[in-house]
Amino acid sequence: MIFKTRFAPSPTGPLHLGHAYSAMLAHDLAEAEDGQFLLRIEDIDRSRSRAHWEDQIYDDLQWLGLRWPEPVLRQSDRLVAYDKALDELWTRGLLYPCTCNRKDIAAAASAPQEGVPLHGPDGIVYPGTCRAKWQPKLADGPRPKDIPLRLDMAVAGKFLLNAAQADAVVGSFQEDGAGPNGETGAIAFTLDELTETIGDVVLSRRDMGTSYHLSVVLDDAAQGITHVIRGQDLFEATRIHVVLQVLLGLPTPRYLHHRLIRDDAGKRLAKRDDARAISKYRAEGATPVGIRALVGL
Ligand code: GLU
C-alpha cells in the first residue's frame, strides 16, 4: 500500500508558520516513505473562502519547495458526494434537524439541572433539545435541505455496536503522533465517551450543506489517504471522523497529530496572526531553509 497523505488548508486567510510546519512535515514524511503528498482546498465555507487566499496558498507552498499532483481537489466541487452521504445517513435515521442557535444551546446546556456545560470538539456538547422534540417517522420523508442536521450519537452507537453496551469500545484508531495530553498508539473510545464528550455534532450546516467533519472523512477516503498528518487541535475531532468512517463503510487511515507552532506568549497561531504569515517572512527576505529552522524541521 502506497503511503498517501495530504495538506488540507482552508482559503480563509494567509498561511502562517503553523501551516508551513504541517505541510512540510507531511511532505517530508511522504518523501521518506516514497509516497504521495496531496494538496486539498477545504473551501466549503463560502462566506469566508476567497480566490486570492487560494492563489496565495499555491504560491506559498511552491515557494517552500513543496510539489503535489494536479488537479488539486477542491471541496466546493464535491457537494454532490456530500449530499449523497447525508441522504444515506438520513434514510438510516441517523440525522435530525436542529433549529437551535448558539444562544439556545448555551442556555439549555447551563440550565441548573445540567450543571456546567461540557465542551467538545465543536464547542458546547449539544444538550439534545431538538432530538427530544424530533419525530423519527419524518425520516421517511426527504431530507430537509435548509436546516442544520445533527448526527444522533446514541443511534450511531447502535450501528457501531450490534448489541449497544454503553461501556464497550465502539471505535478506535492508530495515533502515530500524540494528542494534546500525550495520547498515542491505539486510541479506543466507548459510546458513553462519545455521547458525553462529543454529543450530537452538526453534519450539515445551514449555509454549507455539509460540515468540516463529513467532508474531511469523505475526501480522505475518496483520495485514498492512508496517513492523516495534522495539528493536535484536531485530535479530539478524530473520534467523530472514525464514527463517520464506520457508519459510511469507509477505511480509517492512520493519524499523526503534531505539535502546534505557538507565538512567543505560547498562544497557538491563528489565521489572523498576520505577523506570522509566510508571505510576511517572504517579503522580509526569509528563505525556505530559514522557515524550516524557525519551525524546528
Ligand atoms: N481544513 C482544516 C484546517 O484548515 C484541516 C483539516 C484536516 O487536516 O483534517 O484547519
Residue type, 104: D
102 and 140 inside one domain: yes
Phi, psi for 145 (deg, rounded to 5): -100, -25
Residue 104 CA to ligand 1 centre (angstroms): 28
Distance 165 CA to ligand 1 centre (A): 33
How many angstroms separate the alpha carbon of residue 9 from the centre of ligand 1? 6
So what's the pLDDT on residue 274? 73
**What integer pLDDT is reported at residue 93 of this predicted model?**
92
Residue 182, domain extent: 78-258
For residues 128 and 224, membership in a common domain is answered with yes
For residue 19, give the ligand 1 atom closest to its CA.
4
Based on C-alpha coordinates, what's the Rg of the chain?
20
Task: Give tens-digit pLDDT for 106-124.
Answer: 888 888 776 777 889 998 9
pTM score: 0.94
Task: Assign residue 5 the CATH number of its domain.
Answer: 3.40.50.620
Element (H, E) at 261: none
Decide: 168 in ligand 1 pocket, CB within 6 A: no
Mean pLDDT, the chain cut into blocks of 10 residues (297 residues total): 96 95 98 98 96 98 98 98 97 94 87 78 92 74 91 92 66 96 96 93 95 98 98 97 97 97 78 81 96 94
Question: 109 and 60: one domain?
Answer: no
**In terms of domains, do 287 and 188 share one?**
no
Both 107 and 178 in a single domain?
Answer: yes
Cβ of 43 below 6 Å from ligand 1: no
Residues 226 and 137 occupy one common structural domain: yes
Check residue 138 and give its pLDDT.
58
CB 216 near ligand 1, within 6 Å = yes
Q: Give residue 164's pLDDT.
A: 47
Residue in the block written with cell 494536479: 70
- Is the same domain home to 201 and 96? yes
Pocket test for ligand 1, best of 78, 212, 220, 232 (most atoms within 8 A of CB): 212
- My answer on whether 97 and 165 are in the same domain is yes
230 C-beta closer than 6 A to ligand 1: yes
The number of distinct structural domains making up the chain is 2
Per-residue pLDDT tens digits for 259-293? 999 877 777 777 666 778 999 999 999 999 999 99
Instruction: Say yes or no: 206 and 140 in one domain.
Output: yes
42 C-alpha to center of ligand 1: Å?
Answer: 7
Which ligand 1 atom lies nearest to the CA of residue 220? 9
Largest CA distance in the chain: 63
